[in-house]
Amino acid sequence: PAASYQITVVVHIIMDDNCNVGSLSDDLVHNQIQVLNEDFQAIKGSSGEPGSDAKIQFVLATTDPDGNPTTGITRSCNTSWYNDNGGYYNDLAWDPSRYMNIYTNSGDGSLGYVPFLPANANGSLVGTNADRVVIGHTYFAANTGNHTNFDLGRTATHEVGHFLGLEHTFTNSGGCPSQGTPNCYSDGDLICDTNAELSPNFSSCNDTENDCGELKPIHNYMNYSYDPCMWEFTTEQIRRMRCTLESYRTDLYT
């Protein structure tokens, strides 16, 4: 395995027809890339510091698919695309096997999403135009003042976790997931070192809540906690993400 994986990113900003709703500055894009780096590398002095270093780096593309210089940011004005309709990715995607395509638009009513189950990271969508990360523009980047509790750019951290093969910590099959090895690799979030969880932690950052006899993993990026409460990928989640790159996304990193 590589010591460190560097992923090249293109951010496609989709606005309404008037190029107004959904507009985001280059500075905000740079800020979001910085947050991803802080969170995936647990950079000292950042709010991601308490976590663990996944040794995954993100850099905006400097060369486009035609080999021309680029800022790694594209902008489109199309209300249908802004509303998350119309297969915009078939027009906009940069070779998804080589670039991680992030789109910002309305987010289709959610904070963000990745359009397929991470457990199927080896599924047929990988490398197709539909292979992408979508972030609602008001949840993109840190300190935008749009949402008090979702204002640290961690929606993208969570979504990139999905993109790299992680399930939610609260994924379960209708009850407390199996906690002993090897069943914890076939049940729940398919990760053994995240505590079992029955339902999402939506809000509070209360370290005493428990599910299934274990403390809820409220600090995990793959929970639904408020941004300031999230700062952790576990050792096994980090392994899963690095394995996803090695196994299914081999052209995505250098």
Residues with catalytic function: 159
Percent helix / strand / coil, the chain, rounded to 5: 25, 15, 55
Q: Mask 189-228, x = binds ligand ARG (CB under 6 A)?
A: -----------------------------------xxxx-
Residue of the chain from 81, 99, 116, 150 that contacts ligand ARG (CB under 6 A): 150
* Least distance (Å) between residue 233 CB and ligand ARG: 14
CB of 137 to ligand ARG, least distance (A): 14
Nearest approach, Cβ of residue 185 and ligand ARG (Å): 22
Under rule CB under 6 A, residue 169 binds ligand ARG? no
Q: For ligand ARG, which residue of 158, 216, 242, 249 counts as binding (CB under 6 A)? A: 158
User: Distance between CA atoms of 119 and 134, rounded to whole angstroms?
Assistant: 18
Distant-in-sequence, close-in-space partners of 245: CB < 8 Å, separation ≥ 6:
5, 7, 56, 164, 252, 253
Spell out the residues 6+ positions from residue 128 whose beta carbon is closer than 8 angstroms to its own: 96
> Cβ closer to ligand ARG: 150 or 253?
150
Contact 189, 200 (CB under 8 A): no
Q: What is the Cα–Cα distance from 156 to 32, expressed in whole angstroms?
A: 8
- Binding positions for ligand ARG, rule: CB under 6 A: 110-113, 150, 154-155, 158-159, 224-227, 230
